[in-house]
Chain A
Amino acid sequence: MANGNGKVGLKERLSQAGDHIRTSQVWTSIFRPGSPFRHGYTDSPRNRSYVIMNNVLYHLHPVKVKRHAVRLSYTLCLGGLSFFLFILLTITGIFLMFYYRPTSPQAYLDIQALSTDVAFGQLVRNMHRWGAHLMVLTVFLHMARVFYHGAYKPPREFNWVVGIVLLLLTLLLSFTGYLLPWDQLALWAVTVGSNMGAYAPVIGDQVSFALIGGVQITPDTLLRWYVLHVLFLPFIIVVFMAVHFWRVRKDGGISGPL
């Protein structure tokens, strides 16, 4: 303990304090048994199991996976990255919501203000936009990867269907967000895009009317798509993602039954 002159050194004090914190009731209540952050964690096969089993990650991953499944070249992490991009988009999206009002001139002015008045505003907006495009890409590539591995075969047929729904929801999320900057690009891209849907027989006009809140895009559409973009579609996609991940675990895990 003593460092020669009878005093307790700073290093020992720090390590003592660390031990004290990590054995405290608060700390042990946060980190369940088996957590690497717990006092006295040692690397053993048993503890490696506990790290997953006693963790919220157990919802996503089993304790062990097949060796070939962890090869990066097998899944390319595309499914996981899609999920991670969704989280990233949620975080940056919430940030953007603090500075954005979905009304006609104000929306555009708020986006402009992001790049001039708001600290890191432009950066976060860029991340949100590029992240969204990247997510469309990763979801699409994830689908292609799953197809080429034949990973939709029994018992995983239904999870493929859920995945297709997730792809469509991703496209819808991206499309509804496209209008929000309320500039020429947003307005006319959405006009072209939604005109295509309006050609649907029988229900086309009604669906189009309900979605854009009128016969053509107006400032009302902005509010409507804003609510769809930040509330309704994320809610739906989270539900489908939960089912998707749960089925991945139940149907054999990543890279499943081969």
Chain B
Amino acid sequence: MAGLPDHLLRRSAEARAKAEGRDVEEILAEMKGEAPPAKAEAAPAAEPAPAPPAESTPPPVAPPASGNGARNLEAESADTGVPVPLLQRAMEARAKKEGRELVTAGAPAAAAPATAEAPASAAPAAAPAAPPAIPEGVTTQRLLTVVKAGAIQQVKTSPTDKVSVWPHLLAIEFVALMAVTAFLIIFSVFVDAPLLEFANFNEQPNPSKAPWYFLGLQELLSYFDPQVAGVLIPTLGAVGLAIIPYVDKNPAVKPADRKLAIMIFSFFLFASAILTIYGSFFRGPGFNFSFPWVDGIFFDF
């Protein structure tokens, strides 16, 4: 019981005292391995003591005559390395199980003085519940232990501020969906989708423009060979976009820590936007440059 704080010991003793109807101080002393106070005399009397004569215990050497399993615990402990109290307990348990009388040969040496002085009662046989005092240098173990500050579970993530999806997120999403639907319906009421004349293979309109999202590429066609503008650049663009996460090894997500990545991406973003707008609104007949406010808009959505 070494190392147990006093207040815990006392609490335990009080609990046991309450359960067994004994004196707190007595149990406390017992727990600490000290000699019980004088009052302890009362205790053994209450129990049906099997009582081997108390005077016979002190001799350190086992009386070989017992014949029913009396052993020299100290010698055994030295042999096996098992602490004496454990051997003692095992022996008691076995004796109880087999219904035999317990015969102790070697009472622990350290306990001897204490038990000798106390009136015979603290002897193991008299009070089997009370463990013998612990000899010097023997460490005992208990399963019960005091866990000092610090959680048993390892908490890896710190708790974050979270809100329920219902209703907080779903409400926002619902409003967003309704807003877009409303916008689309109203826009569709007022602006009709274009429908030109019937498709005619023999009459190419001037200028002929691709759908708006390809107009950046079509704009590039004015500067580069079709192999470059029509094939190489879009292929590189798609592959380049796809491998961004594997090229950008910077783990930071704060804009301040990834200026280069943002700069490069923004460059391409603005370049494609400018090319698209240029191709859409600043290209007239023959795909030549024209101001939309001078020559009109050559663009169908």
Contacts and interface: CB of A to CB of B under 8 A. Distances in A.
A123 B189 contact: yes
A84 B187 CA distance: 17
B53 to A, nearest CB: 69
A108 interface: yes
Nearest to B163: A67
12 contacts: A111-B195, A127-B188, A131-B184, A148-B262, A161-B242, A168-B238, A178-B211, A183-B196, A184-B197, A185-B205, A188-B208, A196-B218
B281 interface: no
A70 B163 CA distance: 8
Contacts of A134: 180, 184
A204 B231 CA distance: 9
Contact of B188 (A66, A77, A115, A126): A126
B169 interface: yes
B193 interface: yes
Contact of A77 (B173, B227, B251): B173
Nearest to B204: A188
The 9 closest A-B pairs by CB, nearest first: A157-B245, A196-B230, A126-B188, A150-B253, A129-B193, A187-B199, A51-B166, A193-B210, A64-B162
B253 A201 contact: no
A54 B284 CA distance: 57
Contacts of B205: 184-185, 188
Interface of B: 160-170, 172-173, 176-177, 180-181, 184-185, 187-189, 191-201, 203-205, 208-214, 217-218, 221, 226-227, 229-231, 234, 238, 241-242, 244-246, 248, 251-255, 258, 261-262, 265, 269, 300-301
A181 B210 contact: no
A189 B211 contact: yes
A149 to B, nearest CB: 7
A85 interface: yes
Interface of A: 45, 48-49, 51-52, 57, 61-70, 72, 77, 80-81, 84-85, 88, 105, 108, 111-112, 115, 122-123, 125-131, 133-134, 136, 140, 143-144, 147-154, 156-158, 160-161, 164-165, 167-168, 171, 174-175, 178, 181-189, 191-193, 195-201, 204, 258
Contacts of B166: 48, 51-52
Nearest to A126: B188
A201 B227 contact: yes
